[in-house]
Amino acid sequence: MTTPLFILRCLEIGISIRDMDYLTIGMVMDICIEKGNDSVKYDDLVTQEDFDKF
């Protein structure tokens, strides 16, 4: 990923240039990944009973 592309992706997800001073590249990448996961529908939610069986 080039620097201009990185800055573009930051701005697309709402991270300002000033905010980038406080974030690492890894943190920004994690935010991008989590944003992409927002639209994912999960079929099953685990319950305490499921954890107990594990």
- Residue 18 is classified by DSSP as T
Give residue-wise pLDDT tens across range 2-46.
999 999 999 999 999 999 999 999 999 999 999 888 888 878 888
Q: Which residue from 43, 7, 51, 44 is spatially nearest to 28, judged by alpha carbons?
A: 7
pLDDT band at 1 (very low <50, low <70, confident <90, very high): confident
Q: What pLDDT is attached to residue 28? A: 93
Cα separations in angstroms, 27 against 15, 32, 42, 43, 50: 11, 9, 24, 28, 31
Q: What is the pTM of this model?
A: 0.65
